[in-house]
Each structure stands twice: as structure tokens, then as C-alpha cells.
Amino acid sequence: METVTALLSWALILAGTPSQCHFLQNPVLRQAPGRAGDGVPGPVVPGHSFRKVTLTKPTFCHFCSDFIWGLAGFLCDVCNFMSHEKCLRHVKTPCAGVAPSLVRVPVAHCFGPRGLYKRKFCAVCRKSLEAPAFRCEVCELHIHADCVPFACSDCRQCHQDGHHDHDTYHHHWREGNLPLGARCEICRKTCGSADVLAGVRCEWCGVQAHALCSAVLAPECTFGRLRSMVLPPGCVRLVSRNLSKMHCFRIAETAAPELGDGADGAAGSTALGPGRDAPAAPESSKQTLKIFDGNDTMRRNHFRLVTVPRLARSEEVLEAALRAYYVSEDPEDFELQELTLPSLASDAQAPGKAGNGGLAEEDSNRGSGAHEPEAWVIRARTRTQEVLKIYPGWLKVGVAYVSIRVTSQSTVRTVVLEVLPLLGRQAEGPESFKLVEVLMGSRQVQRNVLADDESLLRRLWDIRQTSLRQASQTRFYVTENRTVNPRISLFVGGLPPGLCPQEYDSLLQEAMATKAAAVSMSHVYPQGAVVLDVTCFAEAERLYMLGRDTAVHGQPLTTLVLPDVLHTKLPADCCPILVFVNPKSGGLKGRDLLCSFRKLLNPHQVFDLTNGGPLPGFHLFSQVPCFRVLVCGGDGTVGWVLTALEETRHHLACQEPSVAILPLGTGNDLGRVLRWGAGYSGEDPFSMLVSVDEADAVLMDRWTILLDAHKAAGTENSVVDAEPPKIVQMSNYCGIGIDAELSLDFHQAREEEPGKFTSRFHNKGVYVRVGLQKISHSRGLHKEIRLQVEQREVELPSIEGLIFINIPSWGSGADLWGSDSDSRFEKPRMDDGLLEVVGVTGVVHMGQVQGGLRSGIRIAQGSYFRVTLLKATPVQVDGEPWVQAPGHMIISAAGPKVHMLRKAKQKPRKAAAIRGDAVPTPEGNTK
């Protein structure tokens, strides 16, 4: 019978039943008020414990988000779901007490640092996030710190992990916290709410709907408007058994919350009860109790508080304690045991010895003013048999789980023997399968293979004694007992550049003691990075953790876990976008963009440039036949990525990917020329990605600058240390003299106090202040440099700065060349293979140019330049300044032109309406 129930529940999954997480099985259903008669099943609610309550303040329904008129509503005692009486029969959202059992495939969350999230609600207790809380960096989950241990491990599946293979992708529904203007995909009415946790949103395609309306949608997800830009999760493979999702998604580690056992643990020692309502000083008729859920919380002194009437029956106190830990099982299977101060101070005690017995023994003293115990622990009663759910480790069997009755004689082997016929595998021997215990922690999913002779009844008892929460989040999977040959790709950066593979191998063996039997070097990048193929989980984890604390020649190493992109499985119309974000650019707005792009796209295609630079991203996409690049940062960041692209081009299957820009810096001249704007000011990241998808491809010249810092002719005969020659790439402009000096002073000020440079307005103010300090500066640059254009010596006028420009924007949008026609020169273009050379006479002249009052002094135009520096001079290339020693600078055209993306001009809405054009909506539909 229970197998039939499982089959029916699986049919509900395929029908697309809406939920807070992916449905896997039929939840524990409790009868809602108003059951229909005549043998027809009435409305049932998934796991909630509703009771009628009197409302004392304005309250909204969590199902329809409408105001509850009158004085009565229905409240779930476990998860605080509030509902109209008329809405009860339609509620599909499962209670937080049963939600973990409904997760289809457990995937851990990636919680970032605590932050204040206005008008957001906790996914567990449904209360508003008034205090600093956590947010998953990959999905839309928001949660209180003390609710983290009770969250579902239902984050997005972003890759294959070797255990599951999906033919189709289903919607990944996340409840609540929608934008206020969100409209339902079905009824087109508002489905967002600022008052309650209501409405659902698919974390892949972005479809938003009411909980009831979402049942009408097809269960398959098509990835929405961004489907051609998303790296499909089925095309990404990563076996990450030992490494957390934070490592796999390259998310920087942050201070973890005070958690207890396992991957999550119970809440801290000041944890509150459900809903985070701190118990006030109890009335004389009430009392507050500390509740522990097992040995682990006792040892850590991590408890939850419940407030109950002093005259409450023992059953009522037990139910309140179970609700505090979101335990939805029958209270008859549990009891409360008293804890004394000595037992709290010591480690967890053996079962049955933590107090004076069950709460029933104290029940007679409740009303007589007897001394109340300081704390209680919930204990499971001894059971002679249990019904255990066994899940198949493969998802194409057709059933969600099978139920097996286990006794004291049941071992892992006997259970596997009993399960195989129920799964249609009776022809195979039990030695081909194993039983895996899975703890579905919200921060890490842990797997443990059980021994064949282990008693399952005793195993369940031990888990419950350790933690009831762990017991509710533990599953048992039967899987094929096949040898797994792992292969983890580990990117190691920060090594000395220009070495041969043998030298890199020796360096890594010396610094990290790599094991030759398990580690091989698959790729070597001359920029100082290698990719290691590791065939041992333990060795991969060791190298990853060790690399974070290792330095080679004084340079700290960077270690990143990279997945494999199965490029042969990519759809024909898929052109995924590779996103690079510099979180330090543009007033530190990059961190929010990192989180936004990880949610909108596959987090594997989003890279933090401060964590390894652009090389890991280009390596990951090296076999992708067609892809685009989005760079979020200033002009210097764009130049950094373009340089890395030029250096790795010969390794790429797509050697000429188009590059778009989301400007985050202060100047952003290239972003202005390509119509991406003067700087990011909080635009919708979804709209930005749509604009990238609709952008036009244009060509842009790239220039190579050879810096040869030898003693130049005509200088003094003093002895100096000559710098080795180096090559830099240029896209926008190269400045020598006063403008580079201003940029250098600004750069040094930002390095000294980076915390003050958090806004574009402040940054420009610093530029102005630095410029005013040099307004009377007179250096006579024309006397200190020599210029040759196409092998022809050019006489310089009296100037303080010499600038080579490739694009028609300089100094935050100024037109340095000017618009006047000149018969001596051709009209400048960014793809004409020519550079324009312009001079400025000082800070005042630069200010006049930026104010549009003047233009620069036109000096030359050409494709090959040789500059001789007679003394140390400030130089800047695309906003990156330094002091260049005396010597030569040779500027010439680089290799092939770069394919850039220019934002398409927006069509006026009225004109589009007149022509009858469809206007795209955020959900990817038209209206």
C-alpha cells in the first residue's frame, strides 16, 4: 500500500504540484476545518497544524496576500502560516516541519555574510527579517540566523554530480520575497507582497505566479528569456563529494554563523522559539523553558526557548517543544526529560540518564508552585520496530521511495535484499548495491556509506539521541555499488610566470607536496597558472585548503575548483555568457552584482576577478564553440580581461568571443562609447543581460606597448638599475605626463584608504582635489620626451601631457580630439587601425576639455609610434598608472581586432505600440 502511495506521489511530481521546494513524496497531511462528507475526501493541508486565533493587529493571508477582515484567522503553530478560512482548502505550500522530506534532490545553500534585508521574510518561520540575516548567494532564499539549521537543502541544481542524470528540467520554485510590482504569469494580477511571504518564482526561468496559479504551468522549465545565455546545468559536470558548494561556485568564505552539530547544528545559546519572537518576562501564569533536542545540543548548550502556561499539561509542553524544532512526528513517540545544572555543564549523557524521567512525573507538581526545572531535553521513546523510507539513488525508477519495516534483526544487507524487488532490480545481487545515509544539512549535504552488518534500528536510535533535527533531515538511499573514478580540476594561480611544466611541477611538489600518483598537470598557462587533474577526493580537498595558505616566492597562491563543461551537450542555439565581475570597482557595487548574476544564470559561469582573475573563466569555456563575455568593472578591468583573452585565444574553440561591458568604474570611457552608460547606478541585472543579448557586434583596435626601460641617449651618465622590458595592451588611451600623474595620485590615495572610495561621486571629488593641488605645476614635458610617428620625428609643442587615444572618449566622456574637421587627419574611428596623438598644456586645459570648452592640441595620427623618455615619467594605460623609468615606449597595432558588443538603440515605446511590435516582459513573454 505504501508503495502505491509513493507511486501516486511521484505522479503529483510529474504534474508539477507547486511547493516551497521540489516535491518528492506525499507529505504528512492534516485535516483542515470543514471536511466534506459523503465519503468524498475534503481539503487537506500539507503538514500544517492550523488553529483558529483572534487577531489583535492588521494581518494578511499568506496564501492570497489579502487583508484578513474580521477578528479571526487560522495560524499554523509550527511555521506561522496565516490564512483566511476560505483559503485553507487551497493551500499547497508545505509546512516547514515537513518541507525537508519533500526535497527532490538535496542541494546545499551558499549563505553569504549577515546583512540587513529590508522587506524580506524568512523562508522557515515566515517572519520579517528585521535583524541581520542570511541570504543564499545562488538562490532567493532569505533566512534568520537561528532558522538556518531548519532550512531545506533545496538550492538550485547547477551541475551533474555523477549521481543523477536528468532528461528535463523542472521549475525550481522559491516562495515569496518577490518584487512589489511582480505580476502573475497566469492571471496577470500582482503576486508580490511587502507584507507576507507569498507568491512563487522559478529560480531558473524567472516566471512569477501565485501559489495556486503555478499549478497550471507546465512542470518543465525552459530557462525563460535568458535561455540562450544560460549554461545549462545538464551540460556541467562536477563531482564534489568533499567540497562544499561555496568552494565549487568560487564564493569567498565568510564567517559562519554559530551553528551546532553536523553541517548546520542547532541555533546558538541565545536561540529563540519559532518566529523569532523573544519571550518577554513571563507572566505569573506562564513560564519559559529551555529545550534541547539531543546530546549534541546539550554538549554545545544550544537550546531553543518555549513559553507555556504553568498549568499546561505535559502533552501540551511536549508539543510546544517539538514545534520549536519543527518535528512533525507523532508526539506519542517522544518524551521530555529534565536536565539539571550538572548535566548541562558536562558532556551529553547516555540515553535515559539525563534527568529524572519523563515530564509526566512532574505534571502533578505544576500547579502547586514546585520548583520548575531549568531545562528539558526531548527524547525518542524506545521502539521495537519502525517504518523506514528507502530512496533509490537513481531517479528514473518511477517511484519516489519505498517503505520497509525494520526490527532489531534488520541489517543493511537484509534491507537491501528486501528493497531490490520493490524497485524492479530483483535479478541483481545485493553485493552490487550499498545503503548510503545522507544528512541534508542546509549548508552541506553529507553522505555516509553504511556497513552491511550494521543494525538500522540502532542507527536510527543513535541519530535521534544525537539530534531530532538531524533525524528529520536524514535519508537512506540505496545506490549501485560501483567504483567511482573521480576527476577534480583544480586551478592553481599565483605561480611565477614563464616557467616550463617541469619547473611548475617541482614548485608545486615543494610547496604543496603533491602526490604524483593522484595528481597530473593538464594545462599550463605562461601567465603563472596551471590546472591539476586530481583523481582522489581527499587529495583534492587537501590541495584546495592548503593552497589558500601557501605562497610561492612571496606570492600567495589561488586555488579554484573548476567543473567540466560538456560542450557536446550544449543546445544548438545556446551561446552562454561568461561573466567577470570586479567587486572592488564602482563603489563596491560588484558584490551585489555577483549575487544577482549567480541567481539569474548558472553560478558556474560567473567569476569574481579578485579570486584568480580571468584565466579560470577562459579555461572553463575553452571548449565551448560559441560564447560571449560580460565584463563588470572599470576601464582597467576591461583591459585586464581583454589582455587575458588575447593571451589565451589560441586555447579557445571560440577564438573571437564578443565582449560587453557593465561599467562600474569612475571614468568608463569605453562603456560610454559602446552606449553602456557612464556607470552602473542600480539598473535591473536582468534587463542588462537582455540588452547584452540584443547588442550589436562592432570591431575595436587593440594596441601593444613595449616598455624598454634602458638608458636613453642624451641622459646623464649616472648608474641606474634598468628594468626588464615588458609589454602591456591598450584599448582606450595611453597618457604620459600630467594626466597620468593625477591618475597615479588618485590610485595611491585609494590604496591607502580603500574604505573611503565607495562612491563614484567621491572618487571624482578626489580627482578634482588632486588636480587643484597641481594647477600651478609646470614640468615642460616636451623637453623630456621625443616622439617618432611612422619613423618620422615629430616636434612637440609646449605641453604637460601627451595622450594617445583609440576611442572618442577620454577623462570620463570628454572629446579630446574635437569635432572640427581637419584636412591633415582622417576622421577618427575605433577600428581604423590608427591612433590619435593629442597634447594638453596643464590641469586648467584638461578641465576645459572635460567641460566642453576646448579640445586638445592635435599632434599626429598613425599606426606606429616610438616615444623616448629622457627621465622617469608617470604613464597610464587605460586608467592603470605607474612611473616609467627612462627608456623607450613602442606603440603598435596588436593582433586581430577585438569583437565588442555595442548596446542597441532603444526603440521609443510609442512607436513600438503604433507598429504593433511586441514589448518583451521580464518573464520572456510578450504583451
Statement: residue 484 has pLDDT above 80: no
CA distance 119 to 127: 10
pLDDT at 696: 94
| Sheet arrangement for strand 200-202 | 173-175, 200-202, 208-209
Mean pLDDT of 408-416: 92
For the domain spanning 573-694, the CATH number is 3.40.50
Q: Using one digit for the tens of pLDDT, what is the confidence trace for 138-166?
A: 998 999 999 999 999 999 889 887 655 55
Phi/psi of residue 634, each to 5°?
A: -85, -175
**Assigned C-alpha cell, 344:** 548541562
Count Cβ atoms below 10 Å from residue 351 Cβ, excluding itself: 16
Question: How many alpha carbons lie under 13 Å from residue 692 in its C-beta half-sphere?
Answer: 31
Statement: residue 903 has pLDDT above 90: yes
- The better pLDDT of the pair 851, 802 is held by 802
Residues of the chain with pLDDT > 90: what percent? 37
Find all residues with CB under 8 Å of 146, minimum gap 6, and list them: 267, 268, 271, 272, 276, 304
Rg of the chain taking only CA atoms, in angstroms: 33
Find all residues with CB under 8 Å of 353, minimum gap 6, and list them: none
User: How far apart, in Å, are the Cα atoms of 335 and each of 305, 340, 357?
Assistant: 17, 16, 9
Beta bridge partners of 72: 54
Q: Name the band, by pLDDT with cuts 50, 70 and 90, for residue 600.
A: very high
Topology classification of domain 488-562: Alpha-Beta Plaits (3.30.70)
Topology classification of domain 50-90: Wheat Germ Agglutinin (Isolectin 2); domain 1 (3.30.60)
**Assigned C-alpha cell, 331:** 508526539
Count Cβ atoms below 10 Å from residue 615 Cβ, excluding itself: 22
Residues for the chain: how many in total?
927
| Strand 72-76, strand 50-54: pairing | antiparallel
Phi/psi of residue 884, each to 5°?
A: -95, 130
Statement: residue 134 has pLDDT above 80: yes
Record the pTM: 0.83
**Assigned C-alpha cell, 323:** 514545534
- The better pLDDT of the pair 38, 747 is held by 747
CA distance 293 to 336: 10
Domain boundaries, the chain: 50-90, 385-480, 488-562, 573-694, 706-711+724-902
Mean pLDDT of 577-584: 92
The SS3 of residue 897 is coil
- Do 662 and 676 form a contact (C-beta atoms < 8 A)? yes
Q: Using one digit for the tens of pLDDT, what is the confidence trace for 753-774?
A: 665 655 665 566 665 666 666 6
Reference 629, options 601, 587, 591, 592; nearest CA is 601
pLDDT at 457: 92
CA distance 220 to 171: 6
Statement: residue 655 has pLDDT above 60: yes
Statement: residue 192 has pLDDT above 90: no
pLDDT at 590: 79
Most confident listed range (205-214, 735-744, 751-760): 205-214
CA distance 846 to 314: 82
| DSSP tag of 227 | T
CA distance 778 to 664: 33
CATH of the domain spanning 385-480, picked from 3.10.20.90, 3.40.50.2020, 3.40.50.2300, 3.30.2130.10? 3.10.20.90
Where is 449: in which H helix or E strand? strand 445-449
Q: Name the band, by pLDDT with cuts 50, 70 and 90, for residue 704.
A: very high
pLDDT at 631: 95
User: How far apart, in Å, are the Cα atoms of 208 and each of 143, 592, 648, 691, 922?
Assistant: 20, 22, 40, 21, 10
- Do 636 and 880 form a contact (C-beta atoms < 8 A)? yes
CA 400, 171, 178, 89 dihedral sign is negative
| Strand 304-309, strand 286-292: pairing | antiparallel
| DSSP tag of 568 | G
Reference 565, options 623, 607, 617, 488; nearest CA is 623
Phi/psi of residue 195, each to 5°?
A: -110, -30
| DSSP tag of 781 | G
CA 815-820-826 angle, 5° bins: 90
- Do 392 and 423 form a contact (C-beta atoms < 8 A)? yes
CA distance 407 to 383: 9
CA distance 518 to 37: 67
pLDDT at 34: 35
The SS3 of residue 812 is coil
- Do 412 and 404 form a contact (C-beta atoms < 8 A)? no
| Strand 286-292, strand 375-380: pairing | parallel
The SS3 of residue 264 is coil
Q: Name the band, by pLDDT with cuts 50, 70 and 90, for residue 37.
A: very low
For the domain spanning 706-711+724-902, the CATH number is 2.60.200.40
Q: Name the band, by pLDDT with cuts 50, 70 and 90, for residue 17.
A: very low
